[in-house]
Amino acid sequence: MTEAAEKKDVQKLQRSIVDSLEDVKAQEIVVFNTEHLSSLFERVVIASGTSNRQTKALAASVRDGVKESGFGKPRIEGEDNGEWIIVDCGSVVVHIMQPAIRTYYHLEEIWGEKPVRIKLGAPKPAAPKPVEAPQPVVAKKTPAKKTAAKKASAKAAPSKATPAKKSVAAKTPVRKTPAKKTSPRQSRKT
């Protein structure tokens, strides 16, 4: 097979995968050219699903779409958990992740040097910007005098209690049950 034919097959496979992901409403679909990084595959597709159920449905849609396009049956890993599913389609590897997992692992940083157009005629995507680590939140320290003053004012303020309503149980008369009489024999035994 010539290089041009192989490239066309990769593009056809990529198009089939992206279409399958779009059919099940995948979010934030990106495709990266990884020919220069790995000899195992030529494209990496990353997409997000909002729940375990949707990520599983996305993986099933990719599997079915790839088979219908005439390519071999892809291997799927992570379908039991559903948080991160990898679909290995040969020359294209698909990562289907939930947003929290995608943010945590940030695969775009690893594979994202050369983004690829998802659709013919679409504008060329920009390389992803590196994500900065979130800054830790530091609690403000309040002077001890202010804290003590707030506590004192809270104690001095009169509390507004709402009057208690009489319950239905309080209105009903209480029945007195007669005490059990013990026989003279029982009282002697004790």
Specify the pairing of strand 27-33 against strand 115-116.
antiparallel
Helix H or strand E encompassing 32: strand 27-33
C-alpha to C-alpha distance for 96 and 152, rounded to whole angstroms:
56
Q: What is the pLDDT of residue 23?
A: 94
Global pTM value: 0.60
Percent of the chain with pLDDT over 70: 56
Q: What is the pLDDT of residue 109?
A: 85
Taking CA 81 as the corner, what is the angle to CA 69 and CA 10, rounded to the nearest 5 degrees? 25
β-strand partners of 93: 44, 88
Angle between helices 52-68 and 3-23 (to 10 degrees): 140
Mean pLDDT on 74-83: 93
Q: What is the pLDDT of residue 111?
A: 79
Is the pLDDT score of 151 beyond 70? no
C-alpha to C-alpha distance for 179 and 163, rounded to whole angstroms:
37
Tell me the average pLDDT of the chain. 75
Q: List the domains of the chain with CATH numbers.
A: 6-116 (3.30.460.10)
| Ramachandran bin of 106, using left for φ above 0, alpha for ψ from -120 to 50, beta for the remaining angles | left
Q: What is the pLDDT of residue 171?
A: 56
C-alpha to C-alpha distance for 31 and 45, rounded to whole angstroms:
4
Q: Contact, 125 vs 117, CB < 8 A?
A: yes
Which parts of the chain fold into alpha helices (H)? 3-23, 52-68, 99-105, 108-111, 144-156, 168-171, 184-189
Q: What is the pLDDT of residue 115?
A: 63
Residue whose structure tokens are 């590196």: 130
Q: What is the pLDDT of residue 124?
A: 55
Q: Tell me which of 6 and 37 has the higher pLDDT.
A: 37
Q: Tell me which of 144 and 21 has the higher pLDDT.
A: 21
Q: What is the pLDDT of residue 122?
A: 54
Query: For 147-167, b where at least 16 C-beta lie within 10 A, e where not — what string?
Result: eeeeeeeeeeeeeeeeeeeee
Tell me the pLDDT tens digit for each residue of 122-147.
555 555 444 444 444 444 444 555 55
Tell me the pLDDT tens digit for each residue of 26-71.
999 999 988 888 888 889 999 999 999 999 999 999 999 999 999 9
Q: What is the pLDDT of residue 100?
A: 94
